[in-house]
Each structure stands twice: as C-alpha cells, then as structure tokens.
Amino acid sequence: MNTGYVIFIHALAEGDVPLVRSDGNKPFVFQTVVDAQREIADDVITRLHEFINGERDFEDAMTVEEFIVKVRVLPDGSVEDERGNHFD
C-alpha cells in the first residue's frame, strides 16, 4: 500500500477535510511532505499578493489554516490517516 501526504483544513461543520482534490475528486496525494509544504507556501504567496493588490485583508492573507497529514492510499484512490480515519 502506498503512502503520501494530504493537505487538510479544519471545517467547522465537517471536521478535518482534504483541501486539494485530484481530477477524480479524490484527495490529492503529494509524494513528499516537502511537496505538500510547497503547495501551502504557494497558496500563502498568492494570498499575500492579493493583500498587496487590495483584494484581501492582511490577517486573512497571513493566516495559515492548512496542515499536512501522512496517509495510506487505498486501491480506490481514497486515503486513510494514521488513526484509521477514511477520506474519499
């Protein structure tokens, strides 16, 4: 079984949910933690540019809510975290 890293965000109503999805609407699995970190950094850079352009508040641009979880990739493309939580 393959492993990888998924970027999550905590949604108030839903709990932890995968933030980035593949074309098939499954959680996007990054091969390395650094790849996932770079995706988050790229998003932060985009938000900072939006702040500079007056499109977003500073606090919103600086807030990083995303977090990375190591997962097992199941044959159907869904993932399972180390606590056994399953995400489609």
Neighbours of 18 (CB within 10 A): 21
pLDDT tens per residue across all 88 residues of the chain: 599 999 999 998 888 999 999 888 899 999 999 999 999 999 999 999 999 999 999 999 988 899 999 999 999 989 999 999 999 8
What's the pLDDT score for residue 1? 58
What's the pLDDT score for residue 23? 85
Buried b or exposed e, range 45-57, using 16+ CB within 10 angstroms: eebeeebeeeebe
17, exposed or middle or buried, with CB in 10 Å at 0-12, 13-18, 19+? Answer: middle
| Dist. CA 86–CA 78, nearest whole Å | 7
Q: What is the dihedral of CA 77, 80, 86, 88, to 10 degrees?
A: -20
What's the pLDDT score for residue 14? 87
What's the pLDDT score for residue 43? 94
